[in-house]
Amino acid sequence: MRRPFIAGNWKMYKTNSEAEETIRYLKDKLKEIENVDIMIAPPYTALTIAAGITAGSNIYLGAQNVHYENEGAYTGEISPPMLVSAGCRYVIIGHSERRQYFGCTDKDVNLRLKSAVRSGLKTVVCIGEKLEERESGKTFDILSSQLSESLKNLSEEEKNMLIVAYEPVWAIGTGKTATPDIAEEAHKYIRGKIADMYGRDFASGVRILYGGSVKPDNIRDLMAQDNIDGALVGGASLDAESFSKIVNF
Ligand code: PGA
């Protein structure tokens, strides 16, 4: 019922020539895939090249962040219409690295989400607890407050453009994947909270991705869980062969 969604977040990796090589390989390798939505989020600098290569293919492009204004004196920032004009259909919002190093708050996430949707972008909103929050038993409280603020007052259109990614911060880039059971417990909680906010019907259709050290050898067990609808893959998406294996879970 919920179509699987596998996304690659390249973070600050790959020059244009490296990006071109990887995208060409992926386009060829994944061309037969019909039952999974595939998205790649290269750095901004490689978007236009990637858009040229993926045009008309089954690989969609996303950006790793976006500003909430359409234009203005915001040195170093990129706006939703700019992403659309570079060929993006998606944008990742509120990644834990944006939260940790660049001061992104849940309120920012909400502003950016609304602004991105006004330009026609689908949004992947990231949430997740830190290690000390999990260890002190606060995981669900953290997820609850992140969801309440980030997904505040969404219109029908905004809801329809939403994908949620659960990325426990302690599992990102650490090689420590949440076990399928731990991930499923969090995903189930997230779906329940979204049902409280927007009703069961909506919650049962919204896709919730898992992110944090997803690899070819753990994707299948994760995807077998009832509430895990896909993955947001960092490190393992940089290698075209390993990302292809993940898409082919
Ligand atoms: P990772 O990153 O797969 O390297 O843990 C995931 C992410 O940051 O989205």
158 as an active site residue: the answer is no
What pLDDT shows up at residue 175?
A: 83
What pLDDT shows up at residue 8?
A: 98
Choosing from 126, 127, 169, 232 the residue with most ligand 1 atoms within 8 A of its CB, the one to mutate for a pocket test is: 232
67 as an active site residue: the answer is no
The identity of residue 44, as a single letter, is Y
CA distance 4 to 220: 12
CA distance 1 to 208: 13
CA of 215 to the centre of ligand 1 (A): 10
Q: Whose CA is nearest to atom 1 of ligand 1?
A: 234
In eight-state DSSP terms, residue 133 is H
Any residues with Cβ below 6 Å from ligand 1, and which?
9, 167, 172-173, 211-214, 232-236
Q: Whose CA is nearest to atom 8 of ligand 1?
A: 234
Which numbered atom of ligand 1 lies nearest the CA of 174? 5
Cα maximum dimension of the chain: 48
pTM: 0.97
CA of 133 to the centre of ligand 1 (A): 19
* Of the candidates 83, 180, 46, 186, the residue with the CA atom closest to the CA atom of residue 126: 186
> CA dist 111 to 67, 102, 118, 133, 197, Å?
9, 16, 11, 25, 18
Q: Whose CA is nearest to atom 9 of ligand 1?
A: 234
> CA dist 247 to 31, 95, 105, 126, Å?
11, 21, 31, 20
Domains identified in the chain and CATH numbers: 5-247 (3.20.20.70)
**Which residues make beta-bridge pairs with 37?**
5
CA of 94 to the centre of ligand 1 (A): 13
pLDDT means over runs of 10, the chain (249 residues): 96 98 98 97 98 97 98 98 98 97 97 98 98 96 98 98 97 88 98 98 98 97 98 98 98
Which numbered atom of ligand 1 lies nearest the CA of 214? 3
CA of 157 to the centre of ligand 1 (A): 28
What pLDDT shows up at residue 177?
A: 83
